[in-house]
Amino acid sequence: MARTRGEANRALYRARILLDGWDRMRAECAHSEQALLGAFLPAVRLHLIEAYGWFLLAISGVEDSLAPDLPRSTRDLSEPEAGRAQIPEIAEFAQLESAGWLAELLAKNAEESPGHAVAASSHKSQQGLLVTDRQPPGYAVAFSWADALAAIMTRMDDSISEY
């Protein structure tokens, strides 16, 4: 648990540093919200997803891993050993991955903005332009992802030590 949990903490810490910088730059008003969104959101998501992957390994009982390919979801984890049930924390994460804040964080198109020309059924054509009603998450949403991940990691820490 020590290394995998420590790596999860470090990735979450890096996301918090980026969020602090994003917030300061928002306050300075030197750049547009769209520019800050494009600069910070992908990096914050990367670190939060990395923290989640390390934490999945930690709650799965992996104590020391170089894990070049971190799991991105519970589906990427190994099945429990024969005769052992899946731990409840993994089941909880699987549920959050299908709907809610974690599903939003992990969505492949979470950074998509109306300015991106991405072909999808939800897009509409207006005067030859490809537009969408979908707005990318902003600072407040990214901050809430970090808070939610930190809270669930803290809550589940006791469970990790039991396995």
pLDDT in tens, 37-81: 999 999 999 999 999 999 998 888 877 767 668 899 999 988 877
DSSP designation for 75? G
pLDDT at 124 (0 to 100): 43
pLDDT at 68 (0 to 100): 65
CA 101 to CA 155: how far, in whole Å? 16
* Contact predicate 21/119, CB 8 Å: no
Give 88's contacts (C-beta < 8 A, 6+ positions apart).
159
pLDDT at 12 (0 to 100): 98
pTM of the model: 0.81
Going along the chain, which residue ranges are E strands?
124-126, 129-131
Give 14's contacts (C-beta < 8 A, 6+ positions apart).
47
pLDDT at 152 (0 to 100): 94
Residue 120's pLDDT band, with cuts at 50, 70 and 90, is very low
Q: Is the model more confident about 135 or about 13?
A: 13
pLDDT at 157 (0 to 100): 85
pLDDT at 122 (0 to 100): 40
CA 136 to CA 93: how far, in whole Å? 23
pLDDT at 21 (0 to 100): 97
Query: Which amino acid appears at position 71 of this protein?
Result: P
